[in-house]
């Protein structure tokens, strides 16, 4: 998650009176806190300070995951019904890692999670390099495309503009930055790693952009 994206999502959540924030597709929560501390700073810490419960969910039992659920399997969704009060579901940078063949099923199951008064916040890269984790389908919707994907009411949508790859390199030690720039020509790499490095270079002076949409049940 980009820092600017975390700020916007934090602002959206700040204006919602909720009981529980459900973080879908959380990944390794501990690793995320170390690599991207701004996610805690702008989203999770303010939520905790309000006394709001946070539930991290993923299809694997990573560190910090509370619920192990495969969101492509409808039968596994019932566990979310046990979460009381108004819920906000956060689906941040997950859809691009869902295979194209499963996207419709995945989206339909996300819609099923929302009870009356629940809300959903979705972010997906819009203009962003290839990044396999473990796959990247290159799903890059505009906010409008993302809004039409779900059969839900769009409450808010926007493009979040972040920094460039050049700005990232400037914050690194010189040797590390040089290694990053030369990475596409390193021998004995997997094809997807080469693709990632080359794709990243196309954003050397072009800002990353992320689509963010807030939904409510119709």
- Which tens digits make up the pLDDT trace of 14-40? 999 999 999 999 999 999 999 999 999
Instruction: Specify the DSSP element, H or E, that contains 153.
Output: strand 153-161
Identify which has the larger pLDDT, 25 or 187.
25
Mean pLDDT, rounded, for 62-88: 95
Edge-to-edge strand ranges of the sheet holding 153-161: 67-68, 53-58, 20-24, 87-92, 119-127, 209-216, 153-161
When pLDDT is cut at 50, 70 and 90, the band that residue 133 belongs to is confident
Domains and CATH numbers, the chain: 3-163+209-216 (3.40.50.150), 165-202 (no CATH)
Quote the pTM value.
0.95
Dist CA 217 CA 23 (whole Å): 18
Considering the chain, what percentage of its residues have pLDDT values greater than 70?
Answer: 100
Residue 218 confidence class, pLDDT cut points 50, 70, 90: confident
Which of helix, strand or coil describes residue 81?
A: helix
Q: How far is Cα 46 from Cα 194, in angstroms, rounded to an integer?
A: 38
- Residue 187, both tokens: 């021998």
């Amino acid at each position: 998650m980009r820092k600017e994206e975390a700020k916007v999502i934090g602002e959206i959540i700040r204006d919602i009176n909720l009981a529980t924030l459900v973080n879908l597709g959380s990944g390794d929560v501990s690793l995320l806190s170390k690599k991207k501390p701004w996610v805690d700073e702008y989203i999770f810490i303010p939520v905790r300070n309000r006394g709001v419960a946070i539930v991290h969910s993923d299809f694997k039992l990573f560190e910090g995951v509370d619920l192990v659920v495969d969101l492509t399997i409808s039968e596994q969704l019932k566990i979310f019904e046990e979460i009381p009060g108004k819920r906000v579901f956060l689906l941040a940078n997950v859809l691009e890692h869902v295979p194209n063949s499963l996207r419709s099923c995945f989206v339909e199951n996300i819609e099923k999670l929302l009870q009356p008064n629940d809300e959903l916040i979705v972010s997906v890269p819009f203009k962003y390099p290839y990044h396999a984790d473990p796959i990247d389908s290159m799903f890059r919707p505009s906010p409008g495309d993302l809004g039409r994907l779900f059969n839900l009411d769009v409450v808010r949508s926007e493009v979040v503009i972040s920094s460039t790859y050049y700005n990232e390199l400037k914050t690194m030690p010189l040797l590390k930055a040089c290694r990053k720039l030369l990475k596409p020509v390193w021998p004995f790499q997997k094809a997807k790693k080469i693709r990632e490095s080359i794709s990243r270079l196309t954003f050397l002076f072009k800002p990353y952009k992320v689509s963010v949409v807030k939904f409510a049940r119709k």
